[in-house]
Chains A and B, each alone.
Chain A
Amino acid sequence: MSIRIYVPRDSSALSLGANRVAKAIAAEAAKRGTELEIVRNGSRGMFWLEPLVEIETPTGRLAYGPVDTADVPGLFDANFLQGGEHRLLLGPTEQLPFLKNQERLTFARVGITDPVSLQNYLEHEGYRGLKRALSLNGGAIVEEVTQSGLRGRGGAAFPTGIKWKTVLNTEAAQKYIVCNADEGDSGTYSDRMIMEGDPLVLIEGMTIAGIAVGATIGYIYLRSEYPHAELALNEAIAVAVANNYLGTDILGSGKTFHLEVRRGAGAYVCGEETSLLESLEGKRGIVRFKPPLPAISGLFGMPTIINNVISLASVPIILDKGGDFYRDYGMGRSRGTLPIQLAGNLKHCGLVEKAFGVTLRELLYDYAGGSATGRPIRAVQVGGPLGAYLPESQFDTPLDYEAFASLWAVLGHGGIVAFDDTVDMAKMARYAMEFCAIESCGKCTPCRIGAVRGVEVMDKIIKDQDRAANIALLRNLSDTMLNGSLCALGGMTPYPVLSALNHFPQDFGLHQTQQAA
């Protein structure tokens, strides 16, 4: 019997040489006349160990990593295919401390299965959610999602069930399901990992959404920076179509759902839902006024469910195991699990899916093991480039939408970027303004002009030109952007700017006590 060995096809693993390692293993095996089957799985989400090679043994999978091509002959010499001792042997994968205590619901299959194998997907509880959905009417499906307490994982945390209900109750000749896969926030990569590592779960979630509200067409709006995700999604869609899980008369139910991947073109603002819809319609990604809500008048003016990748990918398990099962995880009004992405200056960066309630400190020290540089962690930015910076004194905050809101911070899409004590927070504040200026769609003045003026004011503060007056001006400008912008881009850029100023005034040339309110 040939031995099964796993080498990820996840693009972060590829960026660290996974393709070269897979080739080297195949070549070495051929040379030695060893039969083996190489499965290209998703990533387990432990990026300091990538490329992580796993061997299937009768007692479970064993991990070796990080593997370089130069290590391959030595691994064969050490008989790694039978679990031989080697300095890269990490032990049984599931027992690794980073993975052991995770609660992987949405990511249940990622890193375990072959992402584009339907058979593998079915063997691991795939498409059970869809089968149950096909036995329910639309209202009952929506009710299950509402019961689960699922809130939009893209960042806005709007209750998914309510959005679906609005679309369900709006009569129209055509409705759409749109997946927002424009994951542009720095420090976030969970959408990418799902799309590359378990694309069928997203396809299943979108199909369920379509059946629930009577939408027959779906689009995945994917950012152009994710070519590997595009490849995996298109492979998976082809497999689903070929096996009657997509298309007309899905599994003989008489229901229809067609799905297509559309590529964005490098505009951050297209992660904003109305701008994304404009872009899908073939226009400039200019933000729309709301109302009308996309649920009533969305893509091409029709009722549209627009949800983030993780929201949609969480739907199959909710339908399979029930809304209450999902709801039992979490705290307060933050129900279920959040795939948290550890990034930046951390020793062990990776994906941690946990129920809401885990604290930043647990994530930064117990999971990530502190900074990569070994220096103290001075600040973390949570929730992408529009998220606030949190100082060490706030690291005991639990991951919970309301707990973060009470600190004037956001959880966003669950990305955490850590900085050590060499960071200059005035520079980071300047960068936030600069990023907003580069990415502004230009529709509203507070964002379009405010961000440009923000960079200028930050330059003056950094150069110590009339500092006190310019800091007052920065606060004033931030207030205008916060309250006057049309969408979150201009409206939330003050979060990183003001949190940097408030928590790290010394970087702005102020004494700790001198924070003008």
Chain B
Amino acid sequence: MSLQDRNRKVVEASITRNKDKPGALLPILHGIQDSIGHIPPEAVAVIARELNLSRAEVHGVISFYHYFRQTPPGRHTLQICQAESCQAMGSGALTAHAKALLAIDFHETTSDQEFSLEPVYCLGHCGCSPALMLDDEVHARVTPDRLEQLLAEARRGQQ
């Protein structure tokens, strides 16, 4: 099955599962991104047709929310909290270290497609700052050394 075919199946399945819910658009988009990691551009027209919306409306919703991405992420997504509590505990240095290690800025993916780096504004672990999320795992009280260790483990596929 080609990638497009696979994506189309995911998009259609998410629409079928959610379209009868009131306010179905966000659940549909989540269903797609949960499965394939982003919202592929070809999904917009399909969703618009099924929900009787304009493509502009669907695109407008996708682009409004920071969480929805329109391009595939790397194999691992690293989100580092940028909010005040983590700033008070050194997230600035941690972020600088991550950017230097990965040689990318926020909203970028490493050239080997291994890591995407994203800012996040509060993960709710302000009692043990600084916090980050690597894929589905939360890590708190993270030092630059621990970050290196986590990235190395992820690279080796030990996540």
Report A's interface with B, CB cutoff 8 A: 11-12, 14-16, 45, 47-48, 50, 183-189, 191-192, 224-228, 262-268, 279-285, 300, 341-345, 349-351, 372, 381, 385, 415, 417-420, 423, 428, 431, 435, 438-439, 441
- Between A and B, how many residue pairs show CB distances below 8 Å? 154
**Nearest B residue to A381 by beta-carbon distance?**
B84
Complex Cα spacing A441 to B126, Å: 25
Q: How far is the CA of A350 from the CA of B127 in the complex (A)?
A: 6
Q: Give min CB distance, A96 to chain B, whole Å.
A: 15
Interface residues in B127-142 (C-beta closer than 8 Å to A): 127-129, 131, 133, 136-141
Q: Is the CB of A343 within 8 A of B61?
A: no
B25 at interface by CB-CB < 8 Å: yes
The reply to whether A344 and B89 form a contact with Cβ atoms under 8 Å apart is yes
A residues less than 8 Å from B29 (CB atoms)? 265
Q: Are A12 and B125 in contact (CB under 8 A)?
A: yes
- Bound-state Cα–Cα, A420 to B85, Å: 12
Distance in angstroms from B82 CB to nearest chain A CB is: 8
- Secondary structure at the A interface, as helix, strand, loop or mixed, is mixed
User: Contact between B126 and A435 (Cβ–Cβ < 8 Å)?
Assistant: no
| B125 and A263 within 8 A (CB) | no
Query: How many residues from B make CB contacts under 8 Å with A?
Result: 42
> A264 CA to B30 CA in the complex, in Å?
9
In the complex, per-residue mask of B1-43: 1 if CB is within 8 Å of any chain A CB, else 0: 0000000000000000000001111110110000000000000
Say yes or no: is B152 at the interface (Cβ < 8 Å to chain A).
no
Task: Answer yes or no: B147 CB below 8 A from chain A CBs.
Answer: no
B122 to chain A, nearest CB (A): 5
When distances are taken between beta carbons in the complex, the residues of chain B under 8 Å from A265 are: 26, 29-30, 65-68
13 CB < 8 A contacts A-B: A12-B125, A16-B141, A48-B128, A186-B126, A189-B125, A224-B67, A281-B22, A282-B23, A283-B57, A344-B84, A344-B89, A344-B129, A438-B121
Q: Nearest residue in A to B61 (C-beta to C-beta)? A: A284
Determine if B65 and A349 form an interchain contact, defined as CB atoms under 8 angstroms apart.
Answer: no
Q: Which of A12, A419, A435 is most buried by chain B, counting CB atoms within 10 A of its CB?
A: A12
Residues of B within 8 A of A189 (CB): 124-127
B23 contacts which chain A residues (CB < 8 A)? 262, 280-282, 300
Choose among A185, A224, A285 the residue that contacts B64 (Cβ–Cβ < 8 A).
A285
Closest residue on chain A to residue B66 by CB atoms: A266
> In the assembly, what is the distance between CA of A263 and CA of B33, in Å?
12
Residues from chain A with a CB closer than 8 A to the CB of B137 are 15
B120 at the interface (CB under 8 A from A): yes
Is the CB–CB distance between B126 and A282 below 8 Å? no
Given contacts A268-B121, A285-B65, contact A417 B26 (CB under 8 A): no
Q: How far is the CB of B118 from chain A (nearest CB, A)?
A: 9
* B residues near A345, Cβ cutoff 8 Å: 88-89
Does the CB pair A423–B88 fall under 8 Å? yes
CA of A331 to CA of B79, assembled, Å: 41
Q: Which partner residue on chain A sits nearest B87 by CB separation?
A: A431
Contacts of A225 in B (CB 8 A): 120, 122-124, 133
The residue among B68, B85, B89, B141 with the most chain A CB atoms within 10 A of its own CB is B85
Complex alpha-carbon distance, A318 and B64, angstroms: 39
A15 near B140: Cβ-Cβ < 8 Å: yes
- Give the complex CA separation of A439 and B65 in angstroms: 10
Residue of B nearest to A373 (CB): B89
List the B residue with the shortest CB-CB distance to A227.
B136
Which residues of chain B are near A183, meaning CB under 8 Å? 122, 124
A435 to B84, CA, bound (A): 10
Chain A: minimal CB distance from B138 (Å): 4
Q: Which of A283, A351, A438 contacts B61 (CB 8 A)?
A: A283
Instruction: Check B60 for interface membership: any CB of A closer than 8 A.
Output: yes
B83 an interface residue at 8 Å Cβ cutoff?
Answer: yes
Given contacts A186-B83, A283-B25, contact A341 B127 (CB under 8 A): yes
